Structure 1
Amino acid sequence: MRFTGKVALVTGAGSGIGQATARALAREGATVVVAGRRREALDETVALIAEEGGRADAITADVTRAADMERLVAETVARHGGLHVAVNNAGIFTAGRVHEIDEADWARTFEVNVTGVMLAMKYEIAHMRRNGGGTIVNVSSNIGAHRRLPGLGAYAASKAAVSALTRAAALEYISENVRVNAVSPGPHATAMSLYPGESEAERVARMKDESPIGRVGTLEEAAAGILWLAGPDSAYTVGHDLVMDGAATA
């Protein structure tokens, strides 16, 4: 198993891609720390991992608070002896054309999606630099980072920033054996991809139309891409943004 003996941290692990990634890491032998704001959701992820025979622990934290992220990394290391893999997945989705964007929504989108990733990396990298290195995967999006869709200006801009921040960190820390990459999922059936006022059936139809492959991606497929970037098979891959969108960007 690729992650036997490794300690992995996943933010936004209470649902969706974060939960699927935490479960996949545990199945591959990692001890997984799941993080997020909602304790009940984290406990559900821990329970699912335990049912599958894996090892997991939950720590509540708000990615927008520096003190929380510093504590999250410190507690992870104290409880489990290290931090080898980090998946920075926490994010929010906002919709609205540029002239309709509320300033508070804009600020909150960047606070969670961009500042949250920066703060997570700040403390993850600090530990990894001191302890022989590690791998980090930031979850971006094909929207903003690679393609444009009307009505998603704030979200798109925030995800483009995540991809740019990933490349900057990759260059800054690869000489210290800290390998940073990103994954940019396209249409995946997650709760966050539901537009305001949109029904589930409308969401599924829209996302199929957005993807030339003719279907939405599964959570397991997104997790598989993240694990590849986090694992030894991608050792020569640095500063890459892996697009997984059924040819939507193409």
Structure 2
Amino acid sequence: MKFQGKTALITGSGTGIGKAIATKFVENGASVIILGRRKEPLEEASKDLEQIISKNNSGASVKIFAGVDVADESAMTSMFDALKNDNVNVDYIINNAGVSGPVTCFPNSPLKDFKSTIAIHLTGTFWGSVQALKVMKEGGKIITISTFFTEERPLEQRPYRFRSPYTASQGAKNRLAEAMSWELTDKGIISIATNPGPVHSDRIYKTVYPKAAAEFMRVSGFEDLSPVEVEEAKDDLLECILADGIDKEGIAKTAEKLANGKDVTKLTETFTNLLTKIQTIAEKVQNNTSHMIANREFLAQTQVSESVLNLCDDEIAKILNGKVIPGDRVFYPVKPHIGTTAPGVHQPDFSGKSVVFAIDGTDKTDAERVEFLAQHVEKNGGKVACFISQSTPTEVQEHISSKFHSHVVDITSPEEMERWLNTAKTNLGEILGVIHVTGKLPEISKLTELDRAGWEELVAKFISTPATVAQRALEHFVPGGDKDPRLYKDTKGAIMIIGPDLPIGRKVTGTQRAQVEVFRGALRPFTTTVNQELSDVLKSKIRMFTVFPGSVTGAEPDNQKIADAFNFLVSENSASSAEVTFCVDETR
């Protein structure tokens, strides 16, 4: 009864890992608050938990909040207000809720689904943690569960192909857990993240691996099926995977539904072959992953719950405050995707080509950076078009507009970005590259003191908008490539995201660095994942780089090094480069 008299709130706790964690808490005497979107699983979980409490005679309780989506501001706020009004003190917040998100190449990932995945994983974790402060006292613990794939080793960053929104949100969650440890020290509240690695679950076997396998089939097409036809059939076909085989009747119904004049018998045979191939690839992915673990075993959900409770131990939590634990159990050999200065190349001739800037600037130094880079393009023969975000300060807009062909546009709108890219090509010639400037993180005392609107502005600025610009650029380089990925083969194009700078000065605090790293933490795995898809899956020569100006020493960024990185990006050498994220001002 180690946690008797304590209360734990676990998000996404009706099933899976969340339920396992709730179970482990009540076995150790704690009361639990469980929540999720669906009422029925929560009620079933509550019955199981109540039985354990009754057996242990611990005096604990179970409280249910059904219909609560962690991405829903109102639902989460109301829940914590209700707990506060009832004088409930919560000792442990376990940020567990999550979804698979779209399992597909980034060009085919609907931006609506991209943003929804970010909202659940990252914003749900942020807002749940912030609201939880209403009902937490000194000694409280915030434990955030994220994924092993997005945690980097020195100068490495793992790709997780087909999972770009998932990797972006999870990478940011790791860094958010660190930032919260800095910001909540004065409240005596501890923040830790844990990356358990692959875990036995229905989601990974029935959703993630089969959907990834289906995506391989969509990319290439299968037998006489086009990528679009594979896309139309895959969700129905995946429902036909049973524990003891496949649902032949379900496959036949899918064939009837999607025949469109084709022979139903022949299409049923093709779909059966397709599903068999998907199962084979999914099993291979699972097997390959297990071979990168010392004992070749995924963790059980009970093992994850055990590790979470260990992190809630007072002494262990003090030692590990601000850490991402345990790293992971997977030995996943990767190339060094993160570099410092880009390799030098002979200055390219930009004659006859244009470079488009999508600018979401924060201050005058952003305007000066755009000016430097645009002049670099022009003096080497190229033409420049600047599309400036409506949210960019007026002084930045005026500085850029006075020197270059510019328009103030809504760069958050995919349709508007597509229209302006086409206009630039028509008026200026072939687009060599698209450079997106995110601007800097505004001065913020504490992220944990932001209101919801303030947080969502940052997520849009540093995650959703870069994704929007990048996806529209990819569609421009390969029209129709989202629907027919075969069109990507051997195509060329260049996208550069200039992410938020590290803070400048000799007295930069750990809090300031940690805040910026939340959003850098999203862009690193996002960039690495998209590039692996472009190179290894889609067989294109298009590359997307992210450049992070500034250094941990607080030195002034050097815009020439960013220009050098762009020179490398548009050179032939970049197509074979493993490094896709450049911290250009670092010397480590």
Matched, 1:237 2:244: no
- Return closer, same or farther for 1:80/1:51 CA change in 2, 3 Å cut-off: farther
Count of residues in Structure 1 that have an aligned counterpart in Structure 2: 248
Could you say which residue in structure 2 is the equivalent of 1:75? 82
Q: Is the contact made by 2:193 and 2:323 (CA closer than 8 Å) also made in structure 1?
A: yes
Matched, 1:122 2:204: no
Provide, for residues 162-218 of structure 1, a one-character-per-residue CA deviation record: whole Å limited to 9, x for no partner: 111111111100221110111112111123323224659827535424534301110
CA drift of 1:13 comes to: 0.2
Paired with 1:31 and 1:80, the residues of 2 have a C-alpha distance of: 14
1:140 aligned residue (128, 146, 152): 146
1:247 partner amino acid: V
| SS at structure 1 position matched to 2:128 | helix
Could you say which residue in structure 1 is the equivalent of 2:113? 105
1:73 partner amino acid: F
CA drift of 1:125 comes to: 2.0
Map 1:148-187 to 2 at 5 A. Answer: 148-187=159-198
Paired with 1:178 and 1:186, the residues of 2 have a C-alpha distance of: 26
Q: Which has the larger radius of gyration?
A: 2
CA drift of 1:249 comes to: 5.0
Matched, 1:215 2:223: no
- Return closer, same or farther for 1:77/1:151 CA change in 2, 3 Å cut-off: same
Paired with 1:69 and 1:244, the residues of 2 have a C-alpha distance of: 29
2:331 partner amino acid: A
Q: Is the contact made by 2:80 and 2:134 (CA closer than 8 Å) also made in structure 1?
A: no
CA drift of 1:231 comes to: 2.2
- Return closer, same or farther for 1:12/1:244 CA change in 2, 3 Å cut-off: farther
Paired with 2:37 and 2:78, the residues of 1 have a C-alpha distance of: 14
1:62 aligned residue (48, 69, 83): 69
Q: Is the contact made by 2:292 and 2:332 (CA closer than 8 Å) also made in structure 1?
A: no
CA drift of 1:44 comes to: 1.5
2:140 partner amino acid: G
1:236 partner amino acid: I
Could you say which residue in structure 1 is the equivalent of 2:3? 3
Paired with 1:213 and 1:79, the residues of 2 have a C-alpha distance of: 47
Provide, for residues 125-177 of structure 1, a one-character-per-residue CA deviation record: whole Å limited to 9, x for no partner: 2332xx33411101111022343332222211110011111111111002211
Q: Is the contact made by 1:141 and 1:159 (CA closer than 8 Å) also made in structure 2?
A: yes
Q: Is the contact made by 1:134 and 1:178 (CA closer than 8 Å) also made in structure 2?
A: yes
| SS at structure 2 position matched to 1:58 | strand
Could you say which residue in structure 2 is the equivalent of 1:17? 17
| SS at structure 2 position matched to 1:2 | coil
1:47 partner amino acid: K
CA drift of 1:2 comes to: 2.5
Q: Is the contact made by 2:92 and 2:141 (CA closer than 8 Å) also made in structure 1?
A: yes
1:84 aligned residue (57, 67, 91): 91
2:125 partner amino acid: V
CA drift of 1:32 comes to: 0.2
| TM-score normalised by L of structure 1 | 0.90
Q: Is the contact made by 1:33 and 1:76 (CA closer than 8 Å) also made in structure 2?
A: no
- Return closer, same or farther for 1:211/1:76 CA change in 2, 3 Å cut-off: farther
| SS at structure 2 position matched to 1:121 | helix
| Greater RCO, 1 or 2 (C-alpha within 8 Å, sep 6+) | 1
Matched, 1:188 2:196: no
1:247 aligned residue (317, 327, 330): 330
Provide, for residues 101-137 of structure 1, a one-character-per-residue CA deviation record: whole Å limited to 9, x for no partner: 2211111110101111011011112332xx3341110
1:42 partner amino acid: L
Paired with 1:238 and 1:7, the residues of 2 have a C-alpha distance of: 20
Matched, 1:225 2:326: no
| SS at structure 2 position matched to 1:123 | helix
CA drift of 1:70 comes to: 1.6
Matched, 1:48 2:48: yes
Paired with 2:26 and 2:84, the residues of 1 have a C-alpha distance of: 17
- Return closer, same or farther for 1:132/1:233 CA change in 2, 3 Å cut-off: closer
The percent identity for this pair of structures is: 23
Paired with 1:43 and 1:168, the residues of 2 have a C-alpha distance of: 35
Could you say which residue in structure 1 is the equivalent of 2:29? 29
Q: Is the contact made by 1:174 and 1:238 (CA closer than 8 Å) also made in structure 2?
A: no
1:205 partner amino acid: N
* Unpaired segments ≥5 residues, structure 2: 54-59, 153-157, 212-237, 239-277, 334-588
- Return closer, same or farther for 1:176/1:204 CA change in 2, 3 Å cut-off: same
Q: Is the contact made by 1:170 and 1:179 (CA closer than 8 Å) also made in structure 2?
A: yes
Paired with 1:46 and 1:113, the residues of 2 have a C-alpha distance of: 24
* Unpaired segments ≥5 residues, structure 1: none
Q: Is the contact made by 2:151 and 2:327 (CA closer than 8 Å) also made in structure 1?
A: no
Q: Is the contact made by 1:62 and 1:69 (CA closer than 8 Å) also made in structure 2?
A: yes
Paired with 1:80 and 1:48, the residues of 2 have a C-alpha distance of: 26
